[in-house]
Structure 1
Amino acid sequence: MLQLRWLVLFLSVFSFVSLRAPVAIAAASIARTIVVNLEGGGDFKSIQQAIESVPDNNNKWTKIHVAAGVYREKVNVKSTKSYVVLEGDGAQTTSIEWGDYNGDSSGHDTNTSATFTSYASNFVAKRITFKNTYNGFAKLTPAVAAWIFGDKSAFYYCSFIGFQDTLADTLGRHYFKGCYIEGVTDFIFGYGQSIYERCKISTVKSLEKPGYVTAQGRNNASDNSGFVFKWCTISGPQATYLGRAWKHYSRVIFYHTFMSAIIVPEGWYIWFSKGYEGVVTFAESGCTGPGSDLSGRVTWEKQLSDDELKKFIDISYIDGEGWLEAQPPLD
């Protein structure tokens, strides 16, 4: 995961950039469509080339349709490439795959291991897989499938596949709907302010037991970040905690989520925040399945009131201004 010093620097840069993000002119409609096809017949054979063709400081929604195929490339959406819709033919048929990991022979670390990275605000991905092909069964190490820095980013029916640190939900407000997320350790991590709705979360077999679904990095009481899971499912072959407290004010909420028997009875692990149990917000409400039994949970798990819970499960937690409705409609 990111080193603290690097993140503090980036947080300040992110705040500066986000205030200057371009404003959409043609919200909710597609101004241009670019086709990527490995077999030819489209505008490009490379996803990165298609992204680079979008004008800097773009403020008109541009769709990049990626035909079925395995695209073996690293993809980076710069902060100047806003208002992009990246659309596959289906998460089972269109995938972006690469295999970097922390400490590989090229000197890469967690920050650069990602198969896909997006810095842009107002970004949408639909029906596409982001996969880090590094096999961490015997030796887990950070190997990121997707790294999301941009504000107002949404992912619909996408898959994120890896072992450790699969999905870096790093900064900004994010919405994940109908997605599949797979991994073992901290495989949803970061400082994001995000809602995961009707997503399937799956562990994979590894020599490490148990794993951790989340590692959220909320830093202080005024930090709005947190991960909220609504109507999701958690299953797989590997025992797992629901999360561990990466930072002292870590916040993760599971709401009406089905939990299979793989959930460790304690549910949560304090990790780096021992002594800060009173300010960590780990909570569950209305969850079902054999793993949702609260009788063995840690004593410091939060019991949220109905009013407190509503604040997080309502879409206004990430979208009080209507940016989701301003996106082009799903087709």
Structure 2
Amino acid sequence: MSSSGGERREIIVAQNGNGDYKTVQEAIDSVPLRNTQRVIIRIGWGVYTQPIYIPKTKNLITLSGTNPERTTLSWNNTATSCRHHQGTEVIGTGTFACATVIVEGEDFIAENLTFENSAPQGSGQAVAIRVTADRCAFYNCRFLGWQDTAYLHYGRQYFRDCYIEGSVDFLFGNATVLLEHCHIHCKSKGFITAQQRKNADESTGYVFLRCVITGTGDTKPYMHLGRPWAPYARVVFAYSYIDCCIVPAGWNNWDNAENEKTACYYEYRCFGPGSDMKKRVPWARTLRPEEADHYMSTSFIDSQRTWINMQKFAPPSIPVPLSA
């Protein structure tokens, strides 16, 4: 482990043996319990095929690659077939346990990495990352999978300049999340979001700000923006490009008309062939300008923003405006 001043430490992971450790999990295991100092784990090029667990007793960890296309964290667990070095008493079972990377330590950062669940299409729930921690940030990362790619379970989370792909409910959970300048790619029929806000008093929800929503190129719409995993689900798409892959109705009630009375599904100044609000379900709506202000910055997740790096890493694959 190398030292960099008194405020952080660095660990090098390299599969060829030219670092402190050969696996990412070994590096995480070396971090002291109840860590109070930023630890940066720099990960060399390659595909690291292993489930990874960051426990709640290890905060302030950064996983840092050099290029998301050159450094991948990959595993193939599913909700019904889960192999892990931790027992069920630690990570749980089913969808909750099957993520390639499980983050439970607060103040986690990831940059320039790919998180992949390599289970093939049709495998059911197969999570690439589960985040059950507060103040977690992801910069210039890729998240690859099919169903349930990113389990945004709990806490305040920030994604910037990231690529996230999937089919069914591939961003789901009850975290408070801002996704800014991200590319959301819809691989097959399904739903982008399954947000889980349970009551009107919860501050949770997802905001997609200046993002790009793309599909496979099929001219027939096949994807919904979301469906409510819990009655008060809250999702906002603002200043975003929406491709023709999105069905005109936009949103789905998950076969429960009662959800239409409470779900909070909003759009604001989006553009592209899939953005026409005239054909949206009547229980989703356009935000008024005075309402939109609440969602248009990092203040949605934290008014202090001390843990959020505003540096822009890479442009999205399709240009989107910085303002209307």
Rounded to whole Å, the distance in 2 between the matches of 1:163 and 1:57 is: 34
Q: 1:246 aligns with which of 229, 232, 237?
A: 229
Q: 1:230 to 1:321 in 2, by over 3 A?
A: same
Rounded to whole Å, the distance in 1 between the matches of 2:163 and 2:251 is: 22
Partner of 2:80: 103
Partner of 1:220: 199
What SS class does the counterpart of residue 131 from structure 1 fall into?
Answer: strand
Partner of 1:38: 15
Partner of 1:264: 247
Q: CA deviation at 1:30?
A: 5.0
Q: 2:150 aligns with which of 167, 172, 184?
A: 167
Q: Which amino acid aligns with 1:100?
A: N
Q: CA deviation at 1:29?
A: 8.1
Q: 1:156 aligns with which of 107, 130, 139?
A: 139
Q: 1:272 to 1:76 in 2, by over 3 A?
A: farther
1:70-149 equivalent positions in 2, closer than 5 A = 70-104=47-81, 109-136=94-121, 139-149=122-132
Q: CA deviation at 1:183?
A: 0.3
Contact 1:191 1:216 in 2 (8 A): yes
Rounded to whole Å, the distance in 2 between the matches of 1:261 and 1:144 is: 26
Rounded to whole Å, the distance in 1 between the matches of 2:310 and 2:43 is: 17
Rounded to whole Å, the distance in 2 between the matches of 1:132 and 1:216 is: 20
Q: 1:53 aligns with which of 30, 35, 41?
A: 30
Partner of 2:319: none
What SS class does the counterpart of residue 295 from structure 2 fall into?
Answer: helix
Contact 2:199 2:231 in 1 (8 A): yes
Identify unmatched segments of 5+ residues in structure 2: 314-324
Alignment RMSD (CA, Å): 2.0
Q: Which amino acid aligns with 1:62?
A: V
Contact 2:233 2:263 in 1 (8 A): yes
Rounded to whole Å, the distance in 1 between the matches of 2:257 and 2:292 is: 25
Matched, 1:230 2:213: no
Q: CA deviation at 1:256?
A: 0.6
Rounded to whole Å, the distance in 2 between the matches of 1:293 and 1:328 is: 31
Partner of 1:7: none
Q: Deviations over 1:137-189 (max 9, x none)?
A: xx250000000011000000001000000000110000000000010000000
Q: 1:273 to 1:321 in 2, by over 3 A?
A: farther
Rounded to whole Å, the distance in 1 between the matches of 2:33 and 2:292 is: 40
Comparing 262-271 with 300-309, greater Cα deviation is found at 300-309
Identify unmatched segments of 5+ residues in structure 1: 1-27
Please report the TM-score for the alignment, with normalisation by the length of structure 2: 0.87
Partner of 2:322: none
Contact 1:231 1:255 in 2 (8 A): yes
Contact 2:228 2:259 in 1 (8 A): no
Q: 1:124 to 1:80 in 2, by over 3 A?
A: same
Identity of aligned residues (%): 35
Q: 1:96 to 1:236 in 2, by over 3 A?
A: same
Please report the TM-score for the alignment, with normalisation by the length of structure 1: 0.86
Number of aligned residue pairs: give it. Answer: 297
Q: 1:273 to 1:324 in 2, by over 3 A?
A: farther
Q: 1:277 aligns with which of 257, 260, 279?
A: 260
1:290-329 equivalent positions in 2, closer than 5 A = 290-325=273-308
Rounded to whole Å, the distance in 2 between the matches of 1:33 and 1:267 is: 45
Rounded to whole Å, the distance in 2 between the matches of 1:30 and 1:168 is: 31
Rounded to whole Å, the distance in 1 between the matches of 2:159 and 2:82 is: 33
Q: Which amino acid aligns with 2:294?
A: K
